[in-house]
Structure 1
Amino acid sequence: MAISISLQCLGLIILAAVLLQTIAVAISFLYFNKVLNTMQESFSRSSVSCLMNANLRSDFKYPAEDEKKSDPCWQVTQQLHYRIEKTMADRFQKEISTAMRNKLTGVLPILTPAVPLPEVAAHVTGITSSREPPAAEGSRSSRGYLGERIRAWEGQRGLSFLQNMELRGGELLVPRAGLYYIYAQTYFRLPSTGETEGESGEAKEEEGAQLVQYIYKKMSSYPVPILLMKSSRSACWPRGQEPGLFSLHQAGTAHLQPADRLFITVSNATTMEMDGRASYFGAFLVG
């Protein structure tokens, strides 16, 4: 019986100790929480006070190094200045980058395209330095196509580019099956009658010129090239001393297979101007 009473007393003592300890911890937590809130509020007021009373004039005298470490106002203002300078520097860098990119886009658009290039695409241009006109290659019966073939195309420099396509002998090699958008433009310079001599000039003036541009597809499984598109116009030989300037442009879609080849032929190839901004052709995969 005595042992049972002793155990009950011991349990009550332990329970009382636990309760007292819990109460002490709770009181300590509330006290320190109140002290922390008071310190935060005091620091906030002092920070605002520092900012309101800060002297930002040019004749402001900076404190000594020892005073800087012990002065909370100095630390607050320094952190604020650092944040402002970093924000302004980041914004300035972003604006400068955008301005430079826009400037380069206007001067060199091929270096910074507004939109990403298609996965499969090519744009080839005429070679201005090439003064030799395309040579005639016989009749249609032996070649399988009309006009005179253009072989002098630039695919790497200037405004031209090749994106997963190849340029071989003036032909664009198709790497993948799909629907392609194909386009071409050729530029012609017809000499004026003042540049011709005698009766030949009169004959040219009367007859005029038929300018025709063809886009052909050549398949490995078919011996004769297939005409995809053509564009034409009738032009009179210009009178006087100024030459006549004409251009032909055409575009359309066609379903192509791997290893198909695209090339351009024209009539009156000797009058064609190979300026890269006036004579060009290309294709890109649309689906």
Structure 2
Amino acid sequence: MQQLRSLKRSRHRTPVAHLPINPSSTHTEREVRATMIHWNAEQGYLFQFGYHDGRILVRKPGLYYVYTKTCFRYYDELEPGLTSHPRGYPSDRRLAATASPVQLIQYVFHERPSRGAPPRPTVIMKSGSTQHWRVGGYHMYCQQQGATVALRTGDGLFVRVSNSWMLDPEAEGSYFGAFRISH
């Protein structure tokens, strides 16, 4: 029992953020350029972090583990045997197959505020793939990244993806977070 109380106390002193995707982050326009993802702060967890306009905001300096996962969905028509669209996938998002491959790139940015100048974002992680899905059926592709980063009070972290119109709107498929691993 003593260990459980100690674990609960120590967990509450560690800055932690875990945010699922905000379903409104998915766009219906076929935008190829990288756009910022917005997260659902009400459904997520923020302790000793802030959140504003797609950014996790650091309140305590230290070495942090930053992670993100984004999933992209594509379907041309319903798979044989499916009677409806996958859960969370709006029926009006039916996509036509393209002959050209699609690049799915995920970037994680770090912003450090400076006096008198706007913050300049720096890419701290990048991953991607080129997908060529066959006509018909349902397809999904996920990217996951993680890195340790030294962060200061006031720093911001955010995620951008290409082809955000293909993002999976489900919380277990796309999320973003960080936790401090040392002071």
- With the shorter chain as reference, the TM-score category is 0.7 to 0.9
User: So what's the TM-score if we normalise by structure 2?
Assistant: 0.75
Instruction: Give the deviation of 1:259 after TM superposition.
Output: 0.3
Residue 225 of structure 1: which of 112, 118, 121 is its match?
121
Q: Secondary structure at the match of 1:259?
A: coil
Aligned to 2:37: 150
Q: 1:218 to 1:156 in 2, by over 3 A?
A: same
Alignment of 1:35-46 (within 5 A): none
Q: Once the 2 structures are TM-superposed, how far is the Cα of residue 231 of structure 1 from its aligned partner?
A: 0.9
Q: 1:268 to 1:261 in 2, by over 3 A?
A: same
Distance in 2, Cα, partners of 1:155 & 1:134: 22
Tell me the equivalent position of 1:15: none
> Does structure 1 conserve the Cα–Cα contact (< 8 Å) formed by 2:74 and 2:95?
no
Kept in 1, the 8 Å contact 2:31–2:165? The answer is no
Say if 2:30 and 2:163, in contact at 8 Å, map to a contact too. Answer: no
Which residue pairs with 2:68 in the alignment?
184
Contact 1:134–1:149 (CA under 8 A) maintained in structure 2: no
Residue 210 of structure 1 pairs with residue 103 of structure 2: yes
Question: Partner residue of 1:234?
Answer: 130
* Post-superposition CA distance 1:95-131 (Å, at most 9, x none): xxxxxxxxxxxxxxxxxx8x93561010000134x37
For 1:109, the equivalent position in structure 2 comes to none
- Compared with structure 1, are the counterparts of its residues 196 and 259 closer, same or farther at alpha carbon in structure 2 (3 Å cutoff)? closer
How many residue pairs get matched?
A: 157
Q: Distance in 1 between matches of 2:134 and 2:113?
A: 43
Rg larger in structure: 1
Query: Once the 2 structures are TM-superposed, how far is the Cα of residue 155 of structure 1 from its aligned partner?
Result: 2.1
Contact 1:174–1:259 (8 Å) recurs in 2: yes
Q: How far, CA to CA, are the matches of 2:162 and 2:74 in structure 1? A: 12
Partner of 1:245: 140
Q: What does 1:47-86 align with in structure 2 at a 5 Å threshold?
A: none
Q: Is the 8 A contact 1:148 1:269 kept in 2?
A: yes
2: CA distance, partners of 1:135 / 1:117: 41
Per the TM alignment, residue 136 of structure 1 is displaced from its structure 2 partner at its CA by 9.3
Q: Is the 8 A contact 1:209 1:236 kept in 2?
A: yes
Distance 2:60 2:28 in 1: 29
1:256 paired with 2:151, answer: yes
Q: Deviations over 1:26-52 (max 9, x none)?
A: xxxxxxxxxxxxxxxxxxxxxxxxxxx
The unaligned stretches of length 5 or more in structure 1 are 1-112, 139-145
> Partner amino acid for 1:286?
I
Partner Cα distance (1:134, 1:167) in 2 = 25
Q: TM-score, normalised by structure 1?
A: 0.49
User: RMSD between aligned alpha carbons?
Assistant: 2.8
